[in-house]
A and B are shown apart, each in its own frame.
Chain A
């Protein structure tokens, strides 16, 4: 079979970093979710941690409702951070190599104690103000990319599908406008 060169070029343009790192990463994110679900029956999302952790320092009723889950949510988030560090110490540092991993060129790398770490070039004001809206929106909207996007969609929940379509559409529009205004990175 001879592949169409125009088609190949189009695919290369749409996926400049290939798809394997995304697909493998997605499988692992799914696997992490399944490990927790299989053992505990809990479909874990990442954004509830924000409110459950606030229950340690605030008496507001909205946060106190998460007192029962705040300890394990802290453990879940600690695991996610450590998982990111494990990735940095292995694949990102080049200790473990794989043809499925495309390192890319975003941000900048630096080294601490032999571990190759990575930092973003996206401007802090974007992260901070974007973060505020993420904190408000995910909690009012009943979920984020993991709660709605992974667990909710995996549950074929109509609420989550609507939630995902909503935040995906608005995020695309926002990013396009911000880029058109010349904000970069």
Chain B
């Protein structure tokens, strides 16, 4: 593994603190407020998600023009582009059912723990269980596919 810049983790930590403070301030760390949006009782949530997307979008557009590479990693500035396939729809729908039932998503769940919501450990336990189940299943399937391809 390559050596990281000594400031790499401290900066990620500072970014995480600002990120978590924002989730607390916007009340996204409160499942009730997310559920109120999904039930059309308080339409504030898009201001959080799209507000954040606009701020990051400006950085994603400007930074590649200003610098060739990020100072702490030497990595080029790239946009977050992922290939589209059926998984985006299937996974998105499963996530949607979970989000609509619980009112919590991963980042907000971490921040929720920080604002004192010990009850959110139920959601975090669920998320780890769900992530493990899909990872186990996909790892097994990949191993099977690789073995099958090897016998050709």
| Interface residues of A, Cβ cutoff 8 Å to B | 14-19, 21-47, 49-51, 53-54, 58, 60-63, 68, 71-72, 75-88, 91-92, 101, 104, 106-107, 110, 112, 115-122, 124-160, 162-164, 166-176, 178-179, 185
**5 sampled A-B residue pairs with Cβ under 8 A:** A21-B26, A58-B136, A130-B123, A153-B49, A179-B39
Specify the chain B residue showing the minimal Cβ separation from A33.
B56
Specify the chain B residue showing the minimal Cβ separation from A46.
B107
B56 interface neighbour in A117, A151, A170, A172, Cβ under 8 Å = A151
| B65 contacts the other chain (CB 8 A) | no
By a CB distance below 8 angstroms, the chain A residues around B136 are 58, 60, 62
By a CB distance below 8 angstroms, the chain A residues around B130 are 131-137, 139
A35 with B11: CB separation less than 8 A: yes
On chain B, which size bracket covers the interface? 35 or more
- Chain B at the A interface: mostly helix, strand, loop or mixed? helix
Given contacts A32-B22, A167-B96, contact A118 B115 (CB under 8 A): yes
By a CB distance below 8 angstroms, the chain A residues around B123 are 127-128, 130-131, 134
By a CB distance below 8 angstroms, the chain A residues around B116 are 85, 88, 110, 112, 115-119
By a CB distance below 8 angstroms, the chain B residues around A135 are 98, 126-134
Specify the chain A residue showing the minimal Cβ separation from B17.
A83
B90 with A141: CB separation less than 8 A: yes
B96 with A75: CB separation less than 8 A: no
B21 with A40: CB separation less than 8 A: no
A85 with B19: CB separation less than 8 A: no
Within the complex, the shortest CB–CB distance from A132 to chain B, in Å, comes to: 4
B75 interface neighbour in A23, A42, A101, A166, Cβ under 8 Å = A42
B18 with A32: CB separation less than 8 A: yes
| 17 other A-B residue contacts (CB within 8 Å) besides A53-B128, A145-B106 | A15-B43, A17-B33, A33-B19, A33-B59, A39-B8, A41-B75, A43-B60, A49-B106, A62-B134, A80-B16, A88-B116, A122-B31, A133-B98, A133-B130, A144-B106, A154-B60, A174-B96
B80 with A155: CB separation less than 8 A: yes
A22 with B31: CB separation less than 8 A: no
Report B79-101 CB contacts with A as 1/0, cut-off 8 Å. Answer: 11111100111111111111111
B98 interface neighbour in A39, A107, A132, Cβ under 8 Å = A132
- Once bound together, how far apart are the Cα atoms of A3 and B130, in whole Å? 50
Given contacts A28-B25, A29-B26, A40-B8, contact A167 B93 (CB under 8 A): yes
